[in-house]
Chains A and B, each alone.
Chain A
Amino acid sequence: MSVKASAGASGLREQDFSACTNTRTQMSDPLIVLESLTKTFGKTVAVDKISMSMRKGEIFGFLGANGAGKTTTIRMMCGLARPTSGRGSIAGLDIWKERLRIRSKFGYVPQKFSLYTDLTVLENLRFFGGAYRLPADQLRRRVDRTLQEMDLGSRKDFRAGSLSGGYKQLLSIGCALIHEPDLLFLDEPTTGLDPVHRQQIWDMLYEFSQRGTTIFVTTHYMDEAERCSDVGFIHEGRLIAKGSPRMLKQSLREQLLEVHVEPAMPAMVELRKIPGVYGVDLRSGRLRLHARDPHALLKSWNDHWPFVGLQWHGYAWVEPDMEDVFKAYSQGYYLEDQAKRGVR
Chain B
Amino acid sequence: MNFLASWNAILTIAYKEFVHVWRDRRVLLMLIFVPPFFTFVFGHAFEVTSIRDLPAMLYDADHSPDSEQFVEKLKAKDTFVWKQWQGDPNGQIDLLRAGVQAAIVIPKDWGKGLHDGDPRPLRVVLDGTDSNTAPAIQGALQQVLADYQMITRDNVIENLPEEVVDLGRNLPKDIRAQFGSIITPWELKSEILYNPKLMFIDFVVPGIVGLILQLLTVTLIASTITREREVGTLSQLLVTPLRQFEIVIGKVLPYLLISLLLIGSTLAVGYFHFGVKFHKPVMLSVVCFLFLLCSLGLGLLISAFATTQTQAIQFSVFLLLPMMLLSGAFQPLALLPGVVQAFSELFPLTHFCRAFRHVNMYKADFAVIRGDLIALAVGAVVTCVAAGLLLQTNED
A72 to B235, CA, bound (A): 13
Task: Say yes or no: is B311 at the interface (Cβ < 8 Å to chain A).
Answer: no
Which of B16-24, B46-54, B292-300 lines the interface with chain A?
A: B16-24
Which of B210-218, B237-245, B254-262, B342-350 lines the interface with chain A?
A: B237-245
A78: min CB distance to chain B, Å: 5
For B19, list chain A residues within 8 Å (CB): 118-119, 123
Q: How many of chain B's residues touch chain A, expressed as a range?
A: 20 to 34
Cβ–Cβ contact B396 & A131, under 8 A: no
B381: min CB distance to chain A, Å: 23
B392: min CB distance to chain A, Å: 8
Cβ–Cβ contact A132 & B396, under 8 A: no
Task: Say yes or no: is B9 at the interface (Cβ < 8 Å to chain A).
Answer: yes
Q: How many of chain A's residues touch chain B, expressed as a range?
A: 20 to 34
Q: Which of B20, B241, B242, B395 contacts A116 (CB 8 A)?
A: B20
Identify the closest chain B residue to A136 (Cβ). Answer: B8
Q: Which of A86-145 contact B (CB under 8 A)?
A: 100, 103-104, 106-108, 110, 112-119, 123, 127-128, 130-133
A122 to B170, CA, bound (A): 104
Q: Which of B229-277 contact A (CB under 8 A)?
A: 231-233, 235-243
For A113, list chain B residues within 8 Å (CB): 232
For A114, list chain B residues within 8 Å (CB): 231-233, 235-236
Task: Say yes or no: is A276 at the interface (Cβ < 8 Å to chain B).
Answer: no
Identify the closest chain A residue to B23 (Cβ). Answer: A118
Task: Say yes or no: is A82 at the interface (Cβ < 8 Å to chain B).
Answer: yes
Q: Which of A6-24 contact B (CB under 8 A)?
A: none
Cβ–Cβ contact A128 & B240, under 8 A: yes
Q: Which of B282-334 contact A (CB under 8 A)?
A: none
A41 to B396, CA, bound (A): 9
Task: Say yes or no: is B133 at the interface (Cβ < 8 Å to chain A).
Answer: no
Cβ–Cβ contact A108 & B236, under 8 A: yes
A131 to B10, CA, bound (A): 9
A229 to B239, CA, bound (A): 26
For A265, list chain B residues within 8 Å (CB): none
Identify the closest chain A residue to B20 (Cβ). Answer: A118
B383: min CB distance to chain A, Å: 23
A91: min CB distance to chain B, Å: 15
Q: Which of B5, B239, B396 contacts A133 (CB 8 A)?
A: B5
Identify the closest chain A residue to B234 (Cβ). Answer: A114
Cβ–Cβ contact A103 & B23, under 8 A: no
Known contacts A80-B396, A81-B396; A118/B24 CB under 8 A: yes
Q: Which of B11, B16, B236, B241 contacts A175 (CB 8 A)?
A: B236
B235: min CB distance to chain A, Å: 6
Task: Say yes or no: is A79 at the interface (Cβ < 8 Å to chain B).
Answer: yes
For A41, list chain B residues within 8 Å (CB): 395
Q: Which of B5, B23, B235 contacts A110 (CB 8 A)?
A: B235
For B12, list chain A residues within 8 Å (CB): 127, 130-131
A128 to B237, CA, bound (A): 8
Identify the closest chain B residue to A131 (Cβ). Answer: B240
Cβ–Cβ contact B231 & A79, under 8 A: no
Q: Which of A80, A100, A112 contacts B393 (CB 8 A)?
A: A80
For B8, list chain A residues within 8 Å (CB): 130, 133
A254: min CB distance to chain B, Å: 42
For B23, list chain A residues within 8 Å (CB): 118-119
Identify the closest chain B residue to A120 (Cβ). Answer: B19
Of B13, B231, B241, most buried by chain A (CB within 10 Å of CB) is B241
A256 to B19, CA, bound (A): 58
For B233, list chain A residues within 8 Å (CB): 114-116
A245 to B5, CA, bound (A): 44
Task: Say yes or no: is A75 at the interface (Cβ < 8 Å to chain B).
Answer: yes
Known contacts A80-B393, A114-B236; A104/B241 CB under 8 A: yes
Cβ–Cβ contact B396 & A82, under 8 A: yes
For B393, list chain A residues within 8 Å (CB): 80-81
For B237, list chain A residues within 8 Å (CB): 131
For B9, list chain A residues within 8 Å (CB): 130-131, 133
B224: min CB distance to chain A, Å: 12
For B24, list chain A residues within 8 Å (CB): 118
A110 to B228, CA, bound (A): 14
Cβ–Cβ contact B232 & A103, under 8 A: no
Cβ–Cβ contact A110 & B241, under 8 A: no
A75 to B393, CA, bound (A): 10
Cβ–Cβ contact B20 & A131, under 8 A: no
Cβ–Cβ contact A100 & B16, under 8 A: no
Cβ–Cβ contact B239 & A80, under 8 A: yes
Identify the closest chain B residue to A134 (Cβ). Answer: B8
Identify the closest chain B residue to A172 (Cβ). Answer: B236
A95: min CB distance to chain B, Å: 12
Of A72, A81, A175, most buried by chain B (CB within 10 Å of CB) is A81
A114 to B228, CA, bound (A): 9
For A72, list chain B residues within 8 Å (CB): 395
For B5, list chain A residues within 8 Å (CB): 133
A64 to B185, CA, bound (A): 96
Cβ–Cβ contact B236 & A79, under 8 A: no
A188 to B15, CA, bound (A): 31
A72 to B396, CA, bound (A): 11
Cβ–Cβ contact A115 & B236, under 8 A: yes
B391: min CB distance to chain A, Å: 12
A-B contact list, 12 entries, CB within 8 Å: A72-B395, A100-B243, A108-B239, A110-B235, A110-B236, A114-B236, A115-B236, A118-B19, A118-B20, A118-B24, A131-B242, A133-B9
A residues neighboring B (CB under 8 Å): 41, 72, 75, 78-82, 100, 103-104, 106-108, 110, 112-119, 123, 127-128, 130-133, 175
- The 5 A-B pairs of least Cβ separation, nearest first, read A130-B12, A114-B232, A131-B240, A81-B396, A118-B23
